[in-house]
Amino acid sequence: FILSPAMASFIFDAYKSSLCSAHPVRENIRSVPPSFAAGSGAFAAPVGLGSAVVSASRKTFAASVVENVSRSRVSPFFAPSAGEKVYDAMYYLKAALAGGICCSITHGGLTPVDVVKTRMQLDPAKYPSMIGGFGKIAGEEGAAALLTGLGPTAFGYFVQGWFKFGGVEFFKIQFANALGEEKAWDNRNNIYLASAAMAEVIADVFLCPLEATRIRLVSNPSYANGMMAAMGKMAAEEGVIGAFYSGFFPILCKQVPYTMAKFAVQGAAAEQIYKSMGTEPSKCSGSTNITVSLGSGVIAGVAAAIISHPADTLLSKINKAGAGGDGGMISRLYNIAAETGLVKLCTQGLGARCVMIGTLTAGQFAVFDSVMGAIGASKFHFHKPEGK
């Protein structure tokens, strides 16, 4: 991922603003609830012997936290939630949990489509179409073969979703706080892009080993019996780096543009949908917001699938044993690209992937919003300043 000059300038300006601004803009954020500062509620001393001593020590601790928070130049990350629009540690934890759940459910549920898509990329002569691929795999290997790699898929994408959605919310809010309401609104697309890129790089460090394991099991179902057995065998045969991180560069090339497009396009599409309805998220019911998330998610998913498909094909091929020769990662990638050709890199399995990613992305945003609402988190939205 290479930053454009405009994007680099935007990130630098945001970072400079976060250092220089003593009072970043917050949306209805109270630094610390009165109960926390006063030592009441969750911090109240127990009734009984020594309660005065305990109460005094807890008030002293609370007072020190209040003082540290008040001196901070950024949002009080560790302050307890004081209302529905406080963006603190608990909010980010809820966003990460919702992200892990939505990614695990959607990727796990689409494992059969992913199995067929991967086989089409690895052996297009045998699996020329998605419908035919389903029938051939089920007929030759049994219907259970369509669930090959379910374990590493569900677990790997829970971890990835945790860092991706949680990270996007964290970076997005930090940029908004640093820039202020007006600049944040004017640069909301850049904020989506930068936040998504940074969160995805972190998430891919954890996803890559599990994705390599999934692809090995899908390409060779008899390789090992389950995720842990496959990971142990791969590490013993190829070493940790060779087994699990040969595809790290391709996964970055696939996932970073994919995630940038996914969040930026979904944000823009949702904004246009609300605009056409003459309303905004805060004025709509939960079911309406989820419906908008589904519609904008489909648009974002198809766009993201097309943008990231060449790297997805390379990733599928490089994790197949022996693909690209015995050289280093760059040499193997070059050999695979030369053997496959640009057109096939961009089109092999693209239809199946558009169906999969369009459905998956729509489901992710709908499940994410549903879980966030269920656990009492009010999702952050950019707001158009008055008079603009």
Q: How many residues does the chain have?
A: 388
pLDDT (0 to 100) of residue 62? 43
Cβ-contact 137, 144 below 8 angstroms: no
Least confident of 58-67, 187-196, 379-388: 58-67
Extents of the domains making up the chain: 85-375
Q: Which among 28, 59, 29 has a CA at the least distance from the CA of 41?
A: 59
Q: Assess whether pLDDT exceeds 50 at residue 44.
A: no
Task: Give the pLDDT confidence of 325-367 residue by residue, as tens digits.
Answer: 777 777 888 888 888 888 888 888 788 788 878 888 999 999 9
Share of the chain above pLDDT 90, in %: 33
Task: Give the pLDDT confidence of 86-111 residue by residue, as tens digits.
Answer: 788 999 999 999 999 999 999 898 88
Instruction: For residues 251 and 364, give the distance between their C-alpha atoms in angstroms, rounded to a whole number.
Output: 20
Give alpha helix (H) positions in 84-180.
Answer: 89-109, 111-122, 130-141, 150-179
Give alpha helix (H) positions in 224-374.
Answer: 227-238, 240-244, 248-277, 286-318, 329-340, 342-347, 350-374
Task: List, in order, residues 6 or more apart from 385 with CB less than 8 Å away.
Answer: 181, 182, 185
Residue 304: CA count within 13 A, CB half-sphere: 30
Instruction: For residues 55 and 366, give the distance between their C-alpha atoms in angstroms, rounded to a whole number.
Output: 45
Q: Which among 197, 195, 232 has a CA at the least distance from the CA of 216?
A: 232
Instruction: For residues 355 and 55, give the distance between their C-alpha atoms in angstroms, rounded to a whole number.
Output: 59
CATH level 2 (architecture), domain 85-375: Alpha/alpha barrel (1.50)
pLDDT (0 to 100) of residue 313? 81
